[in-house]
Amino acid sequence: MARYVFITGGVVSSLGKGLASAALGALLQARGYTVRLRKLDPYLNVDPGTMSPFEHGEVFVTDDGAETDLDLGHYERFTGVPARMTDSVSSGRVYSNVLEKERRGDYLGKTIQVVPHVTNEIKEFIDIGDDEVDFMLCEIGGTVGDIEGLPFFEAIRQFAQDKPRGQCIFMHLTLLPWIAASGELKTKPTQHSVKELRSIGLQPDVLVCRSEQPIPDKERAKIALFCNVRKDAVIAAPDLKSIYEAPMAYHREGLDQAVLDAFGIAPAPKPNLARWADVQDRIFNAEGDVNIAIVGKYVQLADAYKSIKEALMHGGMANRVKVNVEWVDAEIFEKEDPAPYLEGFHAILVPGGFGERGTEGKIKAAQFARERKIPYLGICLGMQMAVVEAARNLAGMTTAGSEEFDHESGKKRFEPVVYHLKEWVKGNHTVARKVDDDKGGTMRLGAYTAELAEGSKVAAAYGTTTIEERHRHRYEVDVKYRDQLEACGLKFSGMSPDGRLPEIVEYPDHPWFIGVQFHPELKSKPFDPHPLFADFVRAAKEVERLV
């Protein structure tokens, strides 16, 4: 039976609950325990799949095809445990399930209420996989006091009561603001946040306090006294230069020990933190720099490409170089020459996206990288635009484009070298989709196998010819153009096992130009960099050596 840690937040949002949860998971692993992390989000969307990247940041996709919050990316990157569909739930999903049951008559005519029906649904979700791991870490999205989060707080209160004594603890993240004028940390916001939490029946066992300054012993004692928490369970969470310092920093502050003490686990196994010491060493003792441009359409919000930025950092760790990322708005190139913007970079990455806006700029970025022999990595839409660029400028198909853009405009303007995928094979069955299907959850989602061409650059990078990667898209490069494009030098070096869906393209005569239909960034970790990103940064490093 798993032990449960419920992580809540107070005072303000964006304090780093996801990072604290992930770091705690890593520390428990370092002590030899098995862990799984979950996210409970109060928003009414069924999942974040239909949210704008400007609204919510990136959508993290699991192997089994769930579209989830980006915090699940933190969980995977820090623990290496692949997230599952059952590791993320929203209020929208909970209410949808409850209403479906009501329509079926599962509640036998009873009046449906938040308590007990909604809270029971949440508790059933939390309890999934109870016998699989030693610790289950459940992060509650939002901030204590938010009206939409009340059913989740009530559910975890009930859940802790239902479980045997000592089976659940509560960890609360708060803010200790630094008042420069008086030169002191203020504990009152933390006191009020804990008071709010206690008013709904939850007493924190561990307090994690974000602050710009170290917490003096006097303030730590005051927090412990007024919040009814042991002094050694008041944990400081200072700002860090890198998020990958978090496991070591939290261990120095005693977070993992405080959690084990709250469960009464003594003596606690000693941690092996060699993995995280090596990660820190690779970050802070880099032996050079490379500059990489990310040419995208959501560059105003870095979280829209969170996993890509982290995967580039991991590639830098693999090569012991610091990767300097600069965000470049693809729309600029629709009216201006990309050369002045891109000439100073060692490599170019064009990420995924939806809709026509910015795509002509992405095409120009791919052309610039191809002609100037600069390493290029195109992901999802970035691959598709590289194919469109080849079709237009090498194969003479001047109207080449994507069917997505014709659907968006309602006009027939392009020869669709990229088309709407209407049917594909997943496991042992065929999936069918129509253009006018609902948007939510209807893409080609999750892990699919690809077969790589022997002797290709991508096979060399992976060190194998069979891979499995995660997808999130509804448009594909049309395989009927393969011969025409390969005659121009663009090799289709990765295909679905049935040979119908192009997964990877590359130029064999280019130093490093690879486009992939999937999202490799989702599987990269600091202690296990994704092979494509490691090889991409290596290629960028070679450019630096030549400059």
**Residue labelled with tokens 């045997």:** 164
The secondary element (H helix, E strand) that includes residue 340 is helix 339-342
Each residue of 160-216: pLDDT tens digit?
999 999 999 999 999 999 888 888 889 999 999 999 999 999 999 999 999 988 899
Residue tagged active-site, from 346, 471, 519, 530: 519
The domain that holds 375 is classified in CATH as: 3.40.50.880
Domain stops at, among 236, 259, 279: 279
Each residue of 241-274: pLDDT tens digit?
999 999 999 999 999 999 999 999 989 899 999 9
Q: Has residue 362 got a pLDDT over 90?
A: yes
Cα separation, 451 vs 433, whole angstroms: 24
What range defines the domain where residue 494 resides? 286-546
Q: Are residues 250 and 350 in the same domain?
A: no
Would you place residue 420 in the very low, low, confident or very high pLDDT band (cuts 50, 70, 90)? confident
Q: Are residues 128 and 160 in the same domain?
A: yes
Q: Are residues 149 and 210 in the same domain?
A: yes
Would you place residue 406 in the very low, low, confident or very high pLDDT band (cuts 50, 70, 90)? confident
Q: Are residues 43 and 134 in the same domain?
A: yes
Each residue of 282-310: pLDDT tens digit?
999 999 999 999 998 887 777 889 999 99
Q: Has residue 11 got a pLDDT over 90?
A: no
The mean per-residue pLDDT over the stretch 224-228 comes to: 95
Active site residue 521: yes
Would you place residue 497 in the very low, low, confident or very high pLDDT band (cuts 50, 70, 90)? very high
**Residue labelled with tokens 């933390």:** 190
* Bridge partners (DSSP) listed for residue 184: 179
pLDDT of residue 428: 63
Using CB atoms within 10 Å of the CB of residue 540, give its burial: 0 to 12 exposed, 13 to 18 middle, 19+ buried: buried
Domain stops at, among 261, 279, 297: 279
Q: Are residues 40 and 177 in the same domain?
A: yes
Q: Has residue 439 got a pLDDT over 70?
A: no
Tally of domains in the chain: 2
Q: Are residues 410 and 524 in the same domain?
A: yes
pLDDT of residue 150: 95
Active site residue 209: no
Would you place residue 82 in the very low, low, confident or very high pLDDT band (cuts 50, 70, 90)? very high
Tokens standing for residue 249: 């920093």
Using CB atoms within 10 Å of the CB of residue 224, give its burial: 0 to 12 exposed, 13 to 18 middle, 19+ buried: middle
The mean per-residue pLDDT over the stretch 209-224 comes to: 92
Which residues does 15 contact at the CB level (< 8 Å), separation at least 6? 9, 173, 174, 175, 210, 237
Would you place residue 414 in the very low, low, confident or very high pLDDT band (cuts 50, 70, 90)? confident
Domain stops at, among 240, 256, 279: 279
Cα separation, 504 vs 452, whole angstroms: 8
Which residues does 412 contact at the CB level (< 8 Å), separation at least 6? 406
Active site residue 117: no
Assign 108 to helix, strand or coil: coil
Torsion angle of the four alpha carbons 491, 495, 501, 506, in this order, in degrees rounded to the nearest 10: -30
Would you place residue 379 in the very low, low, confident or very high pLDDT band (cuts 50, 70, 90)? very high
pLDDT of residue 93: 95
Q: Are residues 268 and 229 in the same domain?
A: yes
Each residue of 94-143: pLDDT tens digit?
999 999 999 999 998 899 999 999 999 999 999 999 999 999 999 999 99
pLDDT of residue 441: 60
Of 118, 126, 112, 189, the C-alpha closest to 151 is 118
Residue tagged active-site, from 168, 209, 227, 380: 380
Each residue of 22-73: pLDDT tens digit?
999 999 999 999 999 999 999 998 888 778 776 767 899 999 999 998 899 9
Q: Are residues 100 and 125 in the same domain?
A: yes
Cα separation, 508 vs 528, whole angstroms: 27
pLDDT of residue 432: 65
Residue tagged active-site, from 360, 471, 521, 530: 521
Cα separation, 79 vs 74, whole angstroms: 8
**pTM attached to this predicted model:** 0.92
Q: Are residues 394 and 461 in the same domain?
A: yes
Q: Has residue 547 got a pLDDT over 50?
A: no
* Helix ranges, 236-273 (H): 246-253, 255-263
pLDDT of residue 245: 95
With pLDDT > 90 as the criterion, what percentage of the chain qualifies? 76
Q: Are residues 209 and 353 in the same domain?
A: no
Q: Are residues 191 and 336 in the same domain?
A: no
What is the number of other CB atoms lying within 10 angstroms of the CB of residue 71?
Answer: 24
186-190, 309-313, 373-377, 449-453: which range is least confident on average?
A: 186-190
Q: Has residue 407 got a pLDDT over 80?
A: no
Q: Are residues 404 and 533 in the same domain?
A: yes
Of 148, 201, 140, the C-alpha closest to 172 is 140
pLDDT of residue 427: 66
| Rg over CA atoms, the chain | 25
Torsion angle of the four alpha carbons 247, 252, 255, 260, in this order, in degrees rounded to the nearest 10: 100
Distance of CA 276 to the CA centre of its chain: 20
Average pLDDT, the chain: 92
